[in-house]
Homo-oligomer: A and B are copies of this chain.
């Protein structure tokens, strides 16, 4: 009975920590969406709001990390429970980086608003918002997959990340064309190149989350594997 009781408490701790990861995930997802809203509307105010939330995300990372080393020390988990805690540690590092990318975009918006933006840059900004929609949807799917430990959904994330990479390549070519046609847009175009890169990285982080989920459920480390090899591992 005592064992059963302990194990129920432990389960509660594990699901508690998973919920906080999802909360952190929801927060950084909202940050990215807000940063892109700030960009699309050249709103310095919204950019400020994104930057104000950075501390909260950082604090969450540090707290969750501290909780999970506490759980490992007290509960001495093995097998799948240990894998889950290790995956949480990697996942929150990725989520914190997503928050960093959102902050990076927000700071770029502030600079663009201060220096004044050529109306020519409206078109690439629309493309950036499209790339960002893809990345945010991918991040949300990865968080859903984490909530349910759903390897099928995790696999979808791995497959769809390519689309964001292609979007990035297309955007980069377009921005280079703008710069060549009108060298006065070079400085702000470079800013947008970095925004495009930040969004592409959000997709990479979603992919890392998906790999961590497969590791928890299947016990297989599928990083650096081809999608085909991952499909085999998940089946």
Residues of A that sit less than 8 Å from B by CB: 55, 58-59, 61-62, 65-66, 69, 72-73, 76-79, 82-83, 86, 89-90, 93, 172, 176, 179-180, 183, 186-187, 190, 193-194, 197, 221, 223-224
Contacts and interface: CB of A to CB of B under 8 A. Distances in A.
A221 B66 contact: yes
A72 to B, nearest CB: 6
Contact of A180 (B55, B66, B86, B183): B183
9 contacts: A58-B223, A58-B224, A66-B221, A69-B86, A72-B72, A176-B187, A179-B186, A194-B197, A197-B197
B72 A82 contact: yes
A82 B93 contact: no
User: What is the predominant secondary structure among interface residues of chain A facing chain B?
Assistant: helix
Give the 7 A-B residue pairs with the shortest CB-CB distance, closest first: A76-B76, A58-B224, A73-B78, A62-B221, A179-B186, A180-B183, A183-B183
A187 to B, nearest CB: 6
Contacts of A78: 73
Contact of A190 (B82, B172, B187, B223): B172
B90 A69 contact: no
Given A93-B90, A176-B186, A179-B183, A83 B69 contact: yes
Contacts of A194: 197
Given A180-B186, A186-B186, 14 more contacts: A55-B224, A62-B224, A66-B221, A69-B83, A69-B86, A73-B79, A89-B90, A93-B93, A176-B190, A179-B186, A180-B183, A190-B190, A190-B193, A194-B197
A89 B90 CA distance: 9
A79 B70 CA distance: 9
A82 B69 contact: yes
Contacts of A77: 73
